[in-house]
Structure formats: C-alpha cells, structure tokens
Structure 1
Amino acid sequence: MIGRPLGTTGLELSTFSFGAAGIGNLYREVSREDAMATLETAWEAGIRYFDTAPHYGHGLSERRLGDFLRDKPKGSYVLSSKVGRLLKPVAEEDIPDHGFVRPLPFAQVHDYTYDGIRRSYQDSLARLGLNGIDILYIHDLEATTLGADYDRHFADFVESGARALEELKASGAIKAIGLGVNEVPACLNLLARVPLDVILLAGRYTLLDRSAEAELLARCEETGTRLVIGGVFNSGILATGARPGATFNYVEASADVMEKVQAMEVVAQSAGTTLAAAALHFPLRNPLVVSVLIGTAKPSSLLRNVELFDQTIAETAWAQFEEHAIGTEG
C-alpha cells in the first residue's frame, strides 16, 4: 500500500490504515481469535499504520494490538495511541458503559496534565507490551466530549500536558504529536496554542461533511500539520446509502441529509462507482491528508473496504459530489 510522509517527522503512513476500536469490543463482543484474524488480514493487505487508545475496551484494544505487533519487524509499521484518559481498576459492577461490550474492568478518568500524560504513555506501553509508540494523540480534548470541564482540561494541557509530549518527542520516545477529535473548533483552538504534527479528525472532512474546509485546512497548511481522516462513512450513511434508518453522526439521518445522500448515490452510479468507494477516496485527494483510517473487527469488512479502495473514481464526479455536500460554504 502506498505510503505518505507525515510532514517532517520521518514517519510514513500507509494511505489506508487500521483503527482498533472495533477489536476493543465496540458495540459488540469480538473474540480474540477474530480480532487477530482481522489484524492479520489488514497486514496481508499492506496496511502498516495502526491506531489504538486506552479508551477502546478500557485497554483491551491496546493489549490485543500489542500482541499482534510484538513479533513484527521493528520499523515495519507505525503505531499510534492516545493520552488524556487514565484507567483505574473497579469492581465488575462499577465498570462504566462507554459503548464497549465486556471491556476490561477499569473506569476512565480524564487527565490532561503533565503527570497524567506521562503516566498514560507508560501505562499504554505496559498494556501494549511494546517499548515504543510512534504517535501520541491528545484524545477527545473537545467540548462535545468534556462538556463543562472542557476549559479546565484545555488549560491543564496547554499549561503542563503539552510539555510532557514535547519532552517525549525531543527524547525520541515518540516521533509525532497529534490531536484526535471529532470537531473542528477543538482543532482550531489547540492549533492556536500548541504546534501539532497531525490531527486525527473523524467525520468532518468527508464526501458528505466538509466542515473542515472553511478554516481548518488552511490553518493546517500554515502550520505544517497533516491530517489522518477517520469516520469517512459518517457513521454509516455513506456506506449503506440513504436507506430507512441510515445513521449520520451516530443518529438517524434527517430528511435533508437523506436527500443529499440520495443525490450523491445518483452521481456515483453515473460515474460507474459506489458511494462507499468515493467516500474512501475523497479525503486523499488533498495532499494534507496522509491516511484514511477504517475501523472494523471483521476480516470480510476489511477486505471489502480494501477492494473499494482499489477502485478508480472518475475525475468528473468530484465536482458533482460537492454540489450536495454539507459545509462547503466559505
């Protein structure tokens, strides 16, 4: 799979990458055997960039991904995890529900301070069973996740947490500092205060949702920040099409969104392709984007996406898709 350089970090990311939330039992339980089979399928398909987080399965995803990567040649893959949450052991009946089925018996505590980030990094290495992580993302430092606590956590990170990441990078322990969020304002807010090598942005630079275009892309160009794009199907509707019950941003799609997607389906059909294939390809048309991140825990789903990724989309189709996108103004 073709690789793209991650700015000046020295890292090269496969253009198609693996998001490991699914193997942390997101929404459904996944056996260890199925998790390993999915990871092996990803490796055989040429994927060499893998992303995980303490949040995913309360550490389960990191454990499984580390087990898979442990025997791979050093330097043959790029690994990212995240900071901002610490895991604390709790009784089985006190395990909080964050959308993961039968997660490990931990509660999550947000901590973006210097000490919290240093501890998160060390804890992730222990769960992974590895001695290095290439990219650390500040996870969910955004108002939609943190609510009324956002300003406090933002101040913690800017005033002390950022220094922890800068020290880790300066020492060579990590090679890149990133931000992993779902909203554009959080990106702009942090970029105004802290230099970032990369932003993992979910759902805001897609075939349908162009929220990142108005300000963020230009700001990334100015700062030399690169993008990894997740959520390219906007939680489902760009994979399933405008079917009854289709979801957009994890809720049932509105009539307006359904109408836009129906129009996009017509464009795709006229271009001899599918909506899902166009959705996978769209972000990579921008040179700021180094990789498209796909999360799955099924080998069949992964292979289906790889096959879509191998398709060629007619150049004339892109302008027609844009006519029906959200957030293209400005």
Structure 2
Amino acid sequence: MNSRSIGSTGVEVSEISMGCASIGNLAVAISDEQAQQVLQLAWDRGVRYFDTAPRYGSGRSEARLGQFLAGKPRDQFAVSTKVGRVLTPGPQRAEAYGFIDPLPNDVHYDYTAAGIEKSLRGSRERLGLEKIDIVLVHDIGTYMLGAEHNPAHMRDFLESGLPYLAELKAKGLVGAYGLGVNETEVCLELLQDHALDVILLAGRWTLLDRKAEAELVPLCREKGTKLVLGGVFNSGILAVGPKPGAWFDYAPASPDLLQQVAELENRFAAAETGLAHAALQFALTRPQDVVASVLLGGAELSNLKKNLDLLAKPLSNPARHLLG
C-alpha cells in the first residue's frame, strides 16, 4: 500500500488507515479475539496507520491496539491518538458515550498542558508506545462541546495546550499534531493563526457532504496542513443507501437527505457503480497534496474486507467523472 507524508514532519502514514473506535465496542461489544482479527486483516492488507482515542471504550480501544502492535517493528506503523478528554479510574459501567462495556475509567474534558500531559501518559501506557506519531486534539469546537462550554476550553487550549504540543514536537516527543473533529468551522478558526500538521476530518469532505471544499481545503493547501478523511459513509447512509432508518451525521436521516442520497445512488447505478464504492473512491481520489489518508472503521471482518476490496478497485471512467 502506498504511503503519504504528513507535511515535513517525517511522519509517514498508509493511504488507507484503520479507525479504532469500533474495537472500543462502539454500539456493539466485540471480543478481544475479534478485535485482534480485525486489526490483523487490516495489517495483512497493508494498513500501517491506526487511529484511536482515550474516549473509545474509556481506554479499551487503545489497550486492544497496543496488544496488537506489541512486537511489530516500530518503524513499520504510525499511530494517532487524541487529547482533550482525560481518563481517571472510576466505577465499571455497562456503557459510556455509546461504547459498551468500557474500561472502568471516568472521562472529563481538559485541554490544558497538564491535561494533555496526563492524557498522553495514559495513552502511552495503554498503547505500549514511548512516542505517539500523531496527537490530535479531540472534538474542540462548538459542534461537540456546545456554544456554552467551548469558549473556556478553547482558551485553555490556545493559552496552554497548543504551546505544549508545539514544545513536545520541537523536542521530538511527538511526531505531529493537529485536530480530530467533525466540523470545518473550528479548523478554519484555528488554521488562520496557528500551524497544524494534520486534521482528521470526519464526514465533511465526502460524496454527500462537501463543506470542506470551499474554504478549508484551499486553506490546508496554503498552510501545508494534511487531511485524514474519516466518516466517508456519513454515519452509514452512503454504505446502505437511502433506506428508512438510515443514519446521517450520527442521527436518522431526514426525508430531504434520503431523497438526495437516492438521486446519488441512481446516478451511479446508471454508471454500473454501487454507492459505497463511489463513496470510498471519492475519498481516495482527493488530491494527495492535501489528503494523507482515508480512514476506515468497523468491527465486522466481512465489511472491512469488502471496503478494502472496493478501495482497491478503481471506478470506471463514467463513474469517475460523476465524482466531481
């Protein structure tokens, strides 16, 4: 599998990457064995970049990924994890933030240098890594935090957390840093005045949702900031099609969205191409001077294999011309 650079940081990532929320038991609990099988399939197919976060199963995703990577040559893979949510030991719960059977940890927001330092210390222990290749600031912005709470967190980040990340990178203690978010607005806000190596952007540069194209993509190109494209199916609707109950952006799709997806599906069907295939190839064919990797997720071996196969299969010329 081809690799791509995160700017001038020296960090290399595979052009297809593995998102590890699902191995943290997102929505459905899986066994340790199944988690290892999913990761092994990705590895066998050439995936060498893995993204995780403390929030995913309150540490379970990081622990499972660390178990898998133990013994793998350190120069053959890259890992990103996230900061902004700090884990502290707490009571065992059946579910936390949509993750089933999480590890017994409480989660709280902290975007200060002290919070980031504590978060990374825990992540390194669970992952079994001395150095994290990419550190992403998780969900800062009003989309997740809300207008009421975000100003204080942003102030903590700008005054304390961001300088600390720059210091860690300058000392060679992390390879690169940036954002892991579901919105373009906070990316534009921060990129205007601050250097970021990379942004993991979920669901905002897809076949269905192109909010990133107008302003964020040109700004990333200008600043030399790479994008990792996550959420390429927009919470599932581009994988399953406009079925009743299909989800878009973490909620059931509206009738207008269902109609929009139905029109997309029909256009690609006329070019003898499935909607999921088009969605994956849309992400993979975005300009490489901006996009470093396309992030896949999922805990089902059959689905992961299918998506990897679709990524390896170029579109026909008629279908490719429909991507725009």
The equivalent residue for 2:262 is 262
**What corresponds to 2:249 in structure 1?**
249
Of residues 302, 313, 316, the one that matches 1:314 is: 316
Matched-pair contact (CA < 8 Å) for 1:267–1:321 = no
Query: Any stretches of 5+ residues in structure 2 without a counterpart?
Result: none
Give the corresponding residue for 1:325: none
Q: Secondary structure at the match of 1:134?
A: strand
- 1:145-224 pair list within 5 angstroms: 145-147=144-146, 148-224=148-224
Do structure 1's residue 292 and structure 2's residue 291 form an aligned pair?
Answer: no
| Cα distance in 2 between the residues matched to 1:179 and 1:92 | 29
Deviation at 1:290, TM superposition (A): 1.1
CA contact (8 A) 2:95 2:101 kept: no
User: Residues of 2 paired with 1:174 and 1:253: CA distance?
Assistant: 39
Measured after TM superposition, the shift of residue 135 of structure 1 is 0.2
- Checking the alignment, whether the CA contact within 8 Å between 1:58 and 1:105 is kept in structure 2 is yes
TM-score by length of 2: 0.96
CA distance in 2, matches of 1:248, 1:318: 24
After TM superposition, the structure 1 stretch with the greater mean CA deviation from structure 2, 256-265 or 150-159, is 256-265
Whole-angstrom CA distance in 1 between matches of 2:283 and 2:323:
13
Relative to structure 1, the CA distance from residue 70 to residue 256 in structure 2 (aligned partners, 3 Å threshold; closer, same or farther) is: same
- Structure 1 residues 193-250: Cα deviation after superposition (integer angstroms, max 9, x where no partner): 3210000000000001001011101110111001000000000110001112111112
Q: 2:282 touches 2:323 (CA, 8 Å); kept in 1? A: no
Between 233-242 and 4-13, the greater mean CA deviation after superposition? 4-13
Other structure's SS at 2:34 match:
helix
In the TM superposition, residue 96 of structure 1 has moved relative to its aligned partner by: 6.7
Matched, 1:20 2:20: yes
Q: Deviations 1:79-105 (Å, cap 9, x if unpaired)?
A: 110111111122236x77300001011
Let me know the Cα RMSD of the aligned residues: 1.4
Which blocks of at least 5 consecutive residues in structure 1 are unaligned? 323-330
2:67: which partner in 1?
Answer: 67
Q: Residue 111 of structure 2 corresponds to which residue in structure 1?
A: 112
Identity fraction in percent? 50
Paired residue type of 2:287:
N
TM-score of the superposed pair, with normalisation by structure 1: 0.94
The 2-side partners of 1:300 and 1:321 are apart by: 26
Task: Encode CA deviations 1:168-193: one digit per residue, 9 max, x unaligned.
Answer: 11111111111000011011111123
Is the 8 Å Cα contact of residues 268 and 322 (structure 2) preserved in structure 1?
no
Of residues 300, 303, 319, the one that matches 1:301 is: 303
- Distance (Å, rounded) in 2 between the aligned partners of 1:222 and 1:8: 14
Is the 8 Å Cα contact of residues 96 and 107 (structure 1) preserved in structure 2?
Answer: no
Distance 1:315 1:164 in 2: 48
What is the CA distance between 1:60 and its match in structure 2? 0.4
Q: Secondary structure at the match of 1:175?
A: strand
CA distance in structure 1 between the partners assigned to 2:97 and 2:258 by the alignment: 28
TM-superposed deviation, 1:154: 0.5
